Structure 1
Amino acid sequence: MEPNNMTTLPNASNTEQGHCKGHCRMILITVYSMVLLGGTTGTVLMSRMMCKRKSQSMIAMIILNIIVLHSVLLVSLPFRLSYYILGVWEFGSFLCRLVSSIIYGHMYFTFVFYVVIVILRLLIYFKKLQMQKLQKYHMVVLSIVIWTTGSLVFWPILLLQYGIHPSYSEKPRCFEFYKDLNRGDLIILNYSMIVIMISTVVILFLIEMGVIVQLIKALWPDMWAHQDYRAQIKSFFFLLVIVVCFIPHHVFRVHFIQNYSEIDNSELVLYNEIFVALTTVCCLDMVCFIGGVIH
């Protein structure tokens, strides 16, 4: 496929790889703008609230990690907005790969911390873990393990393996690393992450629903007055965020990998970019807590 020297997105042909038509660009600009505004507001307010309360609980420490993740993603969003508004990438190939990797790193790290919250609360509910025995340093150690493991596994793959095709450096565009999906190792990696995420969510979702049903039967009609019920509802909320924001991208990813080709891919690329943008909506979780949607 010959490189295209056009510098703007609006003039790209419908079959040119990685380009969005006008309506796709508007959707992306709208989603990223909403996430940037709402996510920044929620992150700042939640940070202030946590500073005032000075909570030392394990859950509070996990929320702090999620706030850090959201902050990193939010810093990268103006670069994405600049690209979709102006139609040209002006920040170099390395920053393109870095900004692209941040959105995937944010998704998987956030997923891990969400899962940790759910599992901790389930262990406490089933009396396999006592909150009184958990100390601040336990969560600090766990956080360090998660960050270190994730950094050693994900970032080298995302930064060193994606976006290395020679044709990428010839174009003033970004986030168009689809030719890498022709490589067998990256296909296996993508399928592995899809299976791990979906399997984990299904198992935890079924367990969580069973626990909530049991609590409703035992505590009805005053279940909201009990801490155990409220804790499990919060866990269910995190699972719901995963289902709404992360699972659609992974389900579509299977279709994308199987049907993507360098010749005729414009529609798939368009939809894939939208599903990727949907993963950033999880940054609005703090707005839901601050706004009282989940108490």
Structure 2
Amino acid sequence: MNRLFDVPTLSGMIINNTTNHTGLPEDFRITLLVLYTFIFLSGTLNVLLMSCMLQSQRRLSFTKVSVINLIAVHSIFLLTVPFRIYYYAFNETWILGMYFCKIVSLMVHAHMYLAFIFYVFLLIVRYVEQCDQQHRLEFHRILHATIASAVVWLVIFGSMFPATMARYGIAQNDSTQCFNFGQALQKPAVKTLNYVICIVVIMGWSVLALFQVYFLLDVRKTFGKAMCQRQEFWAQLKNIVFLSIMFFCFVPYQGFRVYYVSEYGNTEKIIHINEIFLAITAFSCLDMIVFSGRDICKRINSSGWFCSL
């Protein structure tokens, strides 16, 4: 284990005999290659499964629209993953240009935060519906759902993407290496912005978790020992699945990033560890497989093929 993290400080910028074209120690390069390969394969399966499952749901609920947007987020991100896999697998210099490198690098961050936003929206909708079970939040026309989704995407990308692309990686001059854009963290304003984002994500998840505890206690108080036989209890378990995905995929990265931002520039190994945590955030691509695993199994058992709708 000591050898795994045996890398010099940034002042040296030379890694004994494990140096490669990607600028990563060999162990980290292989780890990232395995992680992103698994994410690409399983994430693609997740998107295909859920696309088929959604065809059978005629009701255009807020939850369904949120899931459709999540699938779109995952799909766009997965389109960029093969470029990461190629870069790590063949240990070659980056030949696709710095602009495209920035797009591929940004997509893992965009995927994380967009997925987090849609998770928050989805859980809030489910909480509202559970408070008033007589009324279900639905779009009455596909056009309304399309407009609402388009507004969210335009606001997010229109307000953040152009400015981010203009400033992201501006200090990176070596176009032969990719995914190495942390130099901006040496600026106090950028550090502060990162701290704020980390705190907002962690606090956002914490507030949702507190609401979930309240709803679970309410179900327990209402139905007592018979709650496991009630549909309300299983609805809470589905909410917990989403909260668990958010916790395991996003919260550890945000917690580590606070330390990463504060210590950036002191040692090079912290940059490599940050890349591992960042890759783990992409495991949220498996969300719908976890969330609808039981429904998928029922469909396979009943029809012999889940897409026979």
Please say if 1:103 is aligned against 2:108.
Answer: yes
| Cα contact 1:42–1:290 (8 A) shared by 2 | no
Cross-structure match for 1:218: 222
Which position in structure 1 is the counterpart of 2:190? 186
Task: Find the residue that maps to 2:173 and give its secondary structure.
Answer: helix
C-alpha deviations, 1:150-191, integer Å up to 9, x for none? 1123312431211111xx233411010011111233222211
- Which residue in the other structure is 1:285 paired with? 287
| From 75, 80, 95, the counterpart of 1:76 | 80
Aligned to 2:95, what secondary structure does the other structure show? coil
Q: Where does 1:213-252 land on structure 2 (aligned, <5 Å)?
A: 213-252=217-256
Provide the alpha-carbon RMSD of the alignment.
2.8
Q: Is the contact between residue 198 and residue 255 of structure 2 (CA under 8 Å) also seen in structure 1?
A: yes
Q: Which moved more, 1:228-237 or 1:285-294?
A: 285-294
Give the TM-score taking structure 2 as reference length.
Answer: 0.83
1:294 to 1:190, Cα distance in 2 relative to 1, 3 A: farther
- The code of the aligned residue for 1:270 comes to H
Match of 1:267 in 2: 269
- Confirm or deny: 8 A CA contact 1:111 1:242 kept in the other structure: yes
Aligned length: 285
Relative to the length of structure 1, the TM-score reads 0.87
Distance 2:72 2:84 in 1: 19
Equivalent-residue separation in structure 1 for 2:271 and 2:125 (angstroms) = 38
Asked whether the equivalents of residues 45 and 290 of structure 1 are also in contact (C-alpha less than 8 Å), the reply is no
The residue that corresponds to 1:124 in the other structure is 129
Q: 1:151 aligns with which of 153, 157, 161?
A: 157
Q: Structure 1 residues 185 and 225 mapped into 2: Cα distance closer, same or farther (>3 Å)?
A: same
Of residues 19, 38, 43, the one that matches 1:39 is 43
Distance 1:79 1:41, change over 3 A: same
Q: What is the CA–CA distance in structure 2 between the aligned matches of 1:201 and 1:43, rounded to whole Å?
A: 24
Structure 2 unaligned segments of length 5 or more: list them: 1-9, 298-309
- 1:123-145 alpha-carbon deviations (Å, 9 max, x no partner): 12222993166535554443223
1:214, CA displacement in angstroms?
Answer: 2.1
Cα 1:282–1:164, aligned 2, differ >3 Å: closer, same or farther?
A: same
Q: Share of identical aligned residues, percent?
A: 28
Distance 2:35 2:137 in 1: 41
Task: Decide which moves more: 22-31 or 61-70.
Answer: 22-31
Q: 1:198: which partner in 2? A: 202
1:66 maps to 70
**Alpha carbons of structure 1 residues 133 and 56: separation in structure 2 relative to 1, 3 Å:** closer
* Counterpart position of 1:94: 99
Given that residues 98 and 175 in structure 2 are in contact (C-alpha distance below 8 angstroms), is that contact kept between their aligned partners in structure 1? no
**8 A contact 1:107–1:280 mirrored in 2:** yes
